[in-house]
C-alpha cells in the first residue's frame, strides 16, 4: 500500500487488526520518494 507518511502505516495496521486479522510482518520502504507499506497477514 502507498502511504503518505509514517503515521498512516500505524493506521493501516490498526484497521487490519480491527478486521480480525493477525499481522505476521509489517515493513515500510521508500521507492522513488514514496513510502510503501507491506504486510503479511493471517
pLDDT tens sequence for the chain (42 residues): 777 766 788 889 999 999 999 999 999 898 888 889 999 999
Grid look-up 493506521 returns 11
Grid look-up 484497521 returns 15
- In total, how many domains does the chain have? 1
Closest-CA residue to 24 (of 42, 37, 1, 8): 42
Residue 22 and residue 34: Cα distance in Å, rounded? 26
Say what the pLDDT of residue 14 is.
Answer: 94
Say what the pLDDT of residue 22 is.
Answer: 97
Residue 34 and residue 37: Cα distance in Å, rounded? 10
Residue 28: how many other CB atoms lie within 10 Å:
13
Residue 23 and residue 16: Cα distance in Å, rounded? 8
Residue 25 belongs to what domain range?
2-41
Amino acid at each position: 500500500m502507498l502511504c503518505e507518511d509514517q503515521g498512516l502505516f500505524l493506521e493501516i495496521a490498526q484497521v487490519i487488526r480491527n478486521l480480525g486479522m493477525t499481522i505476521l510482518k509489517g515493513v515500510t520502504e521508500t521507492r522513488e520518494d514514496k513510502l510503501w507499506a507491506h504486510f503479511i497477514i493471517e
